[in-house]
Structure 1
Amino acid sequence: MSDLIIQTAQGIAELRGRFIRHERYEPLRARFQLLIEKRLADIAAGRTTDAHGIALSGASGTGKSCAMAQLLNSARDYLSASSFPQASIISLRVPSPATLKFVGQMVLRALGYNLATERQAWYIWDLVRHQLRARKILFLHLDEAQDLSSRGTAKELNAVASMLKTLMTDEQWPVGILLSGTEELETILNHDPQLARRLDTVHFGPLSAVHHAPEVIALVDGYAQRAGISADASVSILAFAERLIHSAAFQFGLVIEITIAAIEVALLEETETLTQAHFATAYEIRSSCTDAFNPFIVPDYFKIDARKVFTREMQ
C-alpha cells in the first residue's frame, strides 16, 4: 500500500474524529448541563427526586449521533472531576427490530452484567434497575430510540413508556433518560403525556440554504485548513454553500460527510487547493450518478433529488 493512501486515510480519520460545534448543539449542551447540575445537587443534599431527560429527534443525516457522542464524552469528563466522580453515563444503540426484553439484555451487557439463564422481560428490567443503582449511573442514552416501538401498536407504546418512566421515577435511584432518533421517536413521546413532560425535546431540522450558507462556508474552510490545504475562492462563496446544502439534502451531517469526501479526493490528487471539482468527484463516488445529475456540475442543481443514488436518467 502506498504512503499516499496511508497518509490520506490517517488524515481523513482525524477529520472524522473532530466535532464541529454548531448553533443547534449549544442549546442541547446547555440543557444537559442543567440536568447534570440538578442531579448532582440532589445527590449532595441527600434528596431523591424524579429524574428528567432529553429527547433529540431529526431526520437521518442531521448529525444527531455525533452531537450526542460529543455531549456524552464532555459530560463524562465533567463528572469525573465533579463532587460525585463515581457517577457515570452509559450509551447504546437500539437494534432493529427491537423488543423490550432484548434491549434490557443489551443494557445489562453494557453494565458488565451477563445473564446466565433465560429470563422474562420483567425480571430483566428489574435487574437493570438494580445494576443502574449499584453502578451509580446518572443517565442512560438510547440511540435510534424510534426502534423501541418498531410496530407502533398501542400495547408496545404503553410498554416502552412505562419502562422509561419506571427508570426515571425509581424511589431509590432515578435515572435520567436520553433518547435520540428519527422523527418516529416523537410518536412514542406523544403517546404518553407523562413521559413527554419528563423529557426536554430538541429537534435538529433541515438546513436553510439562505440562513446557514455562511456557517457552511466557515465549515468547509475549517476542514480544509485542518487537512493542510486551502479552500479555493470558488468554494468560499454563498452560491457554492447553497449548492452544497442542496447536495446534502439539507442535512448538516451530510454536509460534513461530503466535505470530508471532497478533501479525501484532493489529498489523493496531492493538490494544495480544495475546489468544486473535488466535490463533484466526491458526489459521483457517493451517488454513482452521471454528470447530468451531479449538483456540483449542472447549473440547475436545485432540480436534482439529492436523496437518490444511481441516477442516470430522468425518473
Structure 2
Amino acid sequence: MNEFVKAAYRDAAANSGGRLYPLPRASLLKSDFSKVFSTHLGHLIGGGRFEAEGLLVTGQSGSGKTTEIRSLIARFNASEAELPNGAHARFAECVLKGIGSWKDLGRSTAQAVGFPIGEKARLTQSEIWDIVVREAKLAGTIGIHFDEAQHIFREKKSADCLAVLDSFKTLMKSHDWPLMLIFSGVPELEGYMKAEPQLHRLLHRVQFNDVSLPDDYKTVHEIVGSYAVRSGVEVDADLMTQDFLDRLVAAGAYRWGVLIDITKRAIAAAQDEGAERLIRDHFTDWWVSKTKTARVATPFTHSDFRSMYRKDHLFLKALDS
C-alpha cells in the first residue's frame, strides 16, 4: 500500500463521491432545462431564426449548484438527443473563476467547445465568437454552462460588464447557431444580469434555497441515514435527534452541498478508525481536523452553537469572523 493512500478515505470517496441525494431541486432544474431544450429543438426543426433561451441558477456558495448542474449535463450528454442534422446534442462547460478580460472569456469559451485559441492569436472579439459558434455547430454543441459567472463581473467598470453581457447575448441571438446558456453563481449574479434587459428576459431563473427548519428535518435525517447505509456503517440513534440535526445544519451554514459533504467526511472518519457505527464524535473529529477549532467549540459540542456559527460565515466561529 502506498504510504500516502488512506484506504478508508479513498474508498469512502469512491463509494459516495458520485452519488447525489435526490433533493427536489434536481427535478425542478431538470424540468426547466427540458422545457428550454425542447423549445430549442423545436426551433431547430422549424428552420427559422430564433433566440435561444437559458437558465440562471443562483444560490449561496456550497449550496450544490455546480454538482447538480454537472450531473444534469452529464446525463443530458449521455442521452444522445438527436438534432435535425443527425448529430447528438451536447452541452459544454466553462468555469469563469479567474477569467479577467473579454479575450480570456472568448478563449475559455472556445476551449470549452473544443477549439483552443492561443494567447498570442490576434483575433477581434467578433472573430472569436464566430469561431465559438462555428465550432459549436460542427460538434452538435447546443449550449454552454458558465460556472462561477459572477467572477467575470466583479471589480469591473460598468462598460466592461456590459461588454461581457453583450458577448453572451451575441451567442444566444446568433443567426447561424443560437446557443442555450446556463449561468450559475451566487445571488449577486442576478443583479449583473439585470443590467442587460434583452439577455435577462431570455433566462429562466432557478434559485437553490438554503436548508429550512423545521420543514427540512426529514430530508436531513434521510441524508445522514442514506449515506451511512451506502457506506456500510450503522447510524447511532443520537444522530437522529433534533439536537444533532440542528447542529449539522448549523455546521453546514444551512447549505445543502456543505451539509452533505460534512456527512460524507464524517463517515470516512468513522471508516478510517474501523468503526461499525457512525456517532457524533466522528463529525466532531472531522471538524477539528478541518478547522483546528478546540474540541469544545465545534458546532457539534458547544452549547451556544447557533449564535457561534452563523449562516454567513462558513466554517468560522462568530468570534473569529
**TM-score, scaled to structure 2:** 0.91
Match of 1:26 in 2: 27
Q: 5 Å matches for 1:92-111?
A: 92-111=94-113
Deviations 1:223-248 (A, max 9, x none): 00110111111112233212100111
* 3-state secondary structure, aligned to 1:90: strand
**Superposed displacement of residue 70, structure 1:** 1.0
1:277 maps to a residue whose letter is D
Does the CA contact (< 8 Å) of 1:105 and 1:124 recur in 2?
yes
State the distance in 2 between where 1:310 and 1:58 align: 20
> Deviation at 1:263?
0.3
Q: What's the secondary structure of 1:51's corresponding residue?
A: coil
Quote the RMSD (CA, aligned, Å).
2.3
2:63–2:255 CA contact under 8 A, matched in 1: yes
**Partners of 2:82 and 2:89 within 8 A in 1:** no
Deviates more, 1:111-120 or 1:192-201: 111-120
Kept after mapping to 2: 8 A contact 1:287/1:311: no
1:185-212 residue CA offsets vs partner (Å, 9 max, x unmatched): 1122121221111000111122113121
**One-letter amino acid of the structure 2 residue matched with residue 121 of structure 1:** Q
The 1-side partners of 2:104 and 2:283 are apart by 42
Q: Which residue identity does 2:129 align to in structure 1? A: W
Using the TM superposition, give the Cα deviation of residue 107 of structure 1 relative to its aligned residue in structure 2, in angstroms. 1.7
Change in Cα spacing, 1:311 to 1:183, as seen in structure 2 (3 Å) is closer
Q: Is 1:17 matched with 2:18?
A: yes
* Residues 1-315 of structure 1 aligned to structure 2 (within 5 Å): 1=1, 5-80=6-81, 84-115=86-117, 117-305=121-309, 307=313
Matches of 1:103 and 1:71, distance apart in 2: 23
| CA shift digits 1:64-118 (9 cap, x unpaired) | 1101111111111223467754222100111324222111111212222233533
Q: Secondary structure at the match of 2:93?
A: strand
**Segment drifting more, 182-191 vs 271-280:** 182-191
Distance 1:308 1:128, change over 3 A: closer
- What is the DSSP-based 3-state SS (H/G/I as helix, E as strand, rest coil) of the residue aligned with 1:61? coil
CA deviation profile, 1:240-270 (whole Å, cap 9, x unmatched): 2121001111111110111011101100111
> Aligned with 1:170: secondary structure?
coil
SS in 2 for 1:24: helix
Whole-Å Cα distance in 1 between the matches of residues 205 and 194 of structure 2?
11
Q: Is the partner of 1:91 in helix, strand or coil? A: strand
Letter in structure 2 aligned against 1:142: F
Seen in structure 2, the aligned counterparts of structure 1 residues 197 and 308 have a Cα distance that, compared at 3 Å, is closer
For 1:312 and 1:271, the matched residues in 2 are separated by 33
Provide the rounded CA distance (Å) in 1 between the counterparts of 2:166 and 2:320. 49
Q: Which deviates more, 117-126 or 155-164?
A: 117-126
Identity %: 25
TM-score, normalised with respect to structure 1: 0.92
Q: Which amino acid aligns with 1:76?
A: N
- Relative to structure 1, the CA distance from residue 310 to residue 211 in structure 2 (aligned partners, 3 Å threshold; closer, same or farther) is closer
Deviations 1:23-80 (A, max 9, x none): 2222111000111211222223333321100010111110011011111111112234
Gaps of 5+ in 1: none
Distance in 2 between residues matched to 1:94 and 1:271, nearest whole Å: 41
1:102–1:2 distance in 2 versus 1, CA, 3 Å: closer
The separation in 2 between residues aligned to 1:2 and 1:157, in whole angstroms, is 49
